[in-house]
Structure 1
Amino acid sequence: MHRPKSTLEQWRILQAVVDFGGYAQAADKLNKSQSSLNHAVAKLQSQLGIQLLEVKGRKAYLTEQGEVLLRRSRHVTQAVGELEQLANNLEQGWEPSLTIARELVYPMDKLTEALAAFLPESRGTRITVVDTVINGTTELIQNNQVDLAICGTPPKGYIAQPLCDLDFYLVCHPSHPLALTPELEDDHMLAQHLQIVIKDTGINAQQETGWLKAEQRWTVSNFHEAKVILSKGVGFCWVPAHMVEKELADGDLVRLKIKGSSCRRIVLTLVVPQRDKQGPASKLLEALILAQHQESPSPDSN
């Protein structure tokens, strides 16, 4: 089995000599003697059979070969540093990865802001965001498959912290027959037209949620697909208000209203499925998500 000729310490010393501009400066920063650094680099060059540095005056310069090897060495020492940090994180209970279930209607910019704030403190924790719809979110919570879940109505037996109210607008294309009557007397007119709905991501999606009285329905995976269909003058759909602001402003879609009801509204909440097992990374990210809505974690989350 091949055994490395060089050590990480030798490469770190070489990096320091280059970064700080010479042996004397590096010795001062590393709190080592200049002779020990000279010896380490000389031994490294001897072991490799390549000259890495050449001294001109009182300053050390990289050779062409040294520049190539130094650049690659930085990846190696950084990877080892990250590995050691990960071991330390695991010892302290810091989670190496987190999975977040995001109800598809939750504004992604809010979650992105929270994740951006989390990144500098993340210690390398990997994040997976799973977009879910209705029962799909519930199943992930009940099966303890996620660390955090942003959902509508939480499953029975789970405590949820409210995040925000979300309005749904009833929309269609300006050329659609429904657009001729912006305010409908009741929902019977809707039943005569094609409805675009978003597929429930649950494995056992037995319960349908929302207004689904239309005999004709097309089911798609997300609201982007729904808007593409609507743009062709086909069907109507209930869409989160923040997802159709531009289309409504530009006149690409029109908003319909039913007499006595201008919109549908739901409350989005944050659930920690296993509060008693929640780790420090999950607690931090929870607090950052709540901060987007100026909420504070519940007392028992710390």
Structure 2
Amino acid sequence: MFRPKSTLEQWRIFQAVVEFGGYAQAAEKLNKSQSSLNHAVAKLQQTLGVALLEVRGRKAFLTEEGEVFLRRAKQLTQQMEELELLAFNIHQGWEAEIRLAVELVHPRPLINRALQLYYPKSRGTQLQLMDTVLTGSQDAILEQQADLVITGHVPKGFLGEPLAEITLLPVCHPLHPLARITTGLAQADLSQELQIVIKDTGKNPQELTGWLKAEQRWTVNNFHEAIGILLSGLGFAWLPIHLVEPLLQQNRLHRIQLRESSARKFFTHLVVPNPERLGPSASRLLECLRTSHKLQQPELATRSSIELPQVELSDSSHTPE
């Protein structure tokens, strides 16, 4: 096993001498004698066999090699500070890691805004982001797989705070046969076309959600894969307007007009699966999510859930035919 010949204290002193402009100033800041600092830096240079500082007159200057070692020394001391802070936070009950599960359809700019607010308050907590779809979001709640869950369906017995209204549109390529029909299609007409659906991430997916009447379905893992297939001219899909609107404006995708309804709307909800076990770091993230979505506090909570609309999403049992 490697045994270091230098000490963290030597590197800290070397860094202080440079940052405070000399041995005398560093000695005053560190509350140590100047001779002890001289000895520590001299010992460090002797151990390394590299000159870190050179004396000119009554001042010490960094050598070229010293500049390199100074950058690494700063990283070393910062990592040590973070390590000790982590130990302190854990001792105080601050979580080392928290998990946030997000329904894939939820707008990511809203999440990113919350993360920007959370990061300065995180105290080094590791954050694990989990993409979930349909029953996978419910599993994250029921099995407490995450500290916080954003879902399109709130299971019975849990509180859900409305976050964002989601609009899904049926879309295809502008040259697809569906795009040529302008008189208004019936939903039954779509059953004869290839549908691109998103895989349900749940352990036991159910075909109770999602418009899945098409005889031929191709299942993908995310919306970007679905969009890629549509752009190649194949199939149709129900996709979030916040993802496809730029492509619609550029005429790279076409919005299919249906006689019944050409748009489906629902809300995503923020759920805390186990409020009693919510730690301080997760609580900070919860506050940031509420702020980024401009939520009012618990008066918006509701025990009623809004089902994910009967549209584009599929369970994992569906494979291309």
What do the CA deviations read for 1:116-153 (whole angstroms, capped 9, x no partner)?
Answer: 22122211111121111101111122111111111101
Correspondence for 2:214: 214
Letter in 1 for 2:247: E
Correspondence for 1:57: 57
Q: How far has the Cα of 1:50 moved from its partner?
A: 4.8
Farther off after superposition, 73-82 or 264-273:
73-82
Correspondence for 2:191: 191
Gaps of 5+ in 2: 300-321
Q: How far has the Cα of 1:296 moved from its partner?
A: 4.0
Secondary structure at 2:9 match in 1: helix
What do the CA deviations read for 1:27-51 (whole angstroms, capped 9, x no partner)?
Answer: 3333444333233323434555554
Q: Trace 1:232-247 onto structure 2 (pairs within 5 A).
A: 232-247=232-247
Q: How far has the Cα of 1:4 moved from its partner?
A: 4.3
Correspondence for 2:173: 173
| CA contact 1:183–1:256 (8 Å) conserved in 2 | no
Correspondence for 2:306: none
| CA contact 1:287–1:297 (8 Å) conserved in 2 | no
TM-score, normalization: structure 2?
A: 0.86
Correspondence for 2:20: 20
| CA contact 2:194–2:217 (8 Å) conserved in 1 | yes
Secondary structure at 1:169 match in 2: strand
| CA contact 2:100–2:149 (8 Å) conserved in 1 | yes
Secondary structure at 2:139 match in 1: helix
Secondary structure at 1:163 match in 2: strand
| Structure 1 pair 177–120 and aligned structure 2 pair: CA distance change class (3 A) | same
What do the CA deviations read for 1:221-268 (whole angstroms, capped 9, x no partner)?
Answer: 111111122122221110000110111001111112323423101110
Q: How far has the Cα of 1:53 moved from its partner?
A: 2.3
Correspondence for 2:76: 76
Letter in 2 for 1:151: T
Letter in 1 for 2:259: K
Correspondence for 1:101: 101
TM-score, normalization: structure 1?
A: 0.91
| Cα distance between partner residues in 1 of 2:69 and 2:220 | 52
| Cα distance between partner residues in 2 of 1:94 and 1:61 | 42
Secondary structure at 2:24 match in 1: helix
Q: Trace 1:108-257 onto structure 2 (pairs within 5 A).
A: 108-182=108-182, 184=184, 186-257=186-257
Farther off after superposition, 180-189 or 273-282:
180-189
What do the CA deviations read for 1:155-182 (whole angstroms, capped 9, x no partner)?
Answer: 2221111101100011111222221224
Gaps of 5+ in 1: none
| Cα distance between partner residues in 1 of 2:249 and 2:172 | 13
| Structure 1 pair 29–204 and aligned structure 2 pair: CA distance change class (3 A) | same
Letter in 2 for 1:298: P
Farther off after superposition, 256-265 or 26-35:
26-35
| Structure 1 pair 74–201 and aligned structure 2 pair: CA distance change class (3 A) | same
Letter in 1 for 2:267: V
Secondary structure at 2:283 match in 1: helix
Q: Trace 1:6-45 onto structure 2 (pairs within 5 A).
A: 6-45=6-45
Greater relative CO, 1 or 2 (CA 8 Å, sep 6+): 2
Secondary structure at 2:113 match in 1: helix
RMSD (CA atoms)? 2.2
Letter in 2 for 1:227: I
